Amino acid sequence: MTQSVDSLFESAIERYKAGEEPKALIPVFKDLCDRTPKSSASWTCLAWLYLLENQPNNALKAAQKAVKLNPQDPQARVNLAAAMLETEQKGVRQHIEIVQQIMVLDAEIRQEIIDNIQDGLTRKPDWEGLIRIQKWLSGN
């Protein structure tokens, strides 16, 4: 019996939150992106997992797709900025500025971004690009 795309997505998110390795979840999110290619959330998650697994080129492609599908998603832009830093691309500042604007307008999203960055640094403490993004977003 096949799971619905929504339940598969929720299940994968729960597995991530429970501490499952990103490497094991990448195929799940790749499948979700194949099944629902217009799901910004799936592309955003896939980009994050690629970043955690030191696959910045794959992360860049997934994050670009996520931002194209939903330009107002601040997490997609954080992922894109991180991937751009790791692949030495130019243009990071515009994405950071958009995230800053969204964070000022919505306290809930602001906290979500802060929590996601903390999660990333817990899983990958030496993540230089994310540390830089964290500093930029906190105004330091």
Residues 77-134: pLDDT tens digits?
Answer: 999 999 999 999 999 999 999 999 999 999 999 999 999 999 999 999 999 999 999 9
Q: Does residue 46 carry a pLDDT above 50?
A: yes
Q: Does residue 15 carry a pLDDT above 70?
A: yes
Q: What is the mean pLDDT of the chain?
A: 94
Q: Does residue 1 carry a pLDDT above 50?
A: no
For the entire predicted model, the pTM comes to: 0.93
For residues 49 and 20, the answer to whether their CB atoms sit within 8 Å is no
Query: How much is the average pLDDT of 2-19?
Result: 88
Residues sharing a CB contact under 8 Å with residue 38, sequence separation 6 or more, in sequence order: 69
Q: Determine the pLDDT at residue 2.
A: 56
Q: Does residue 33 carry a pLDDT above 90?
A: yes
In this prediction, residue 140 has a pLDDT band, given cuts at 50, 70 and 90, of low
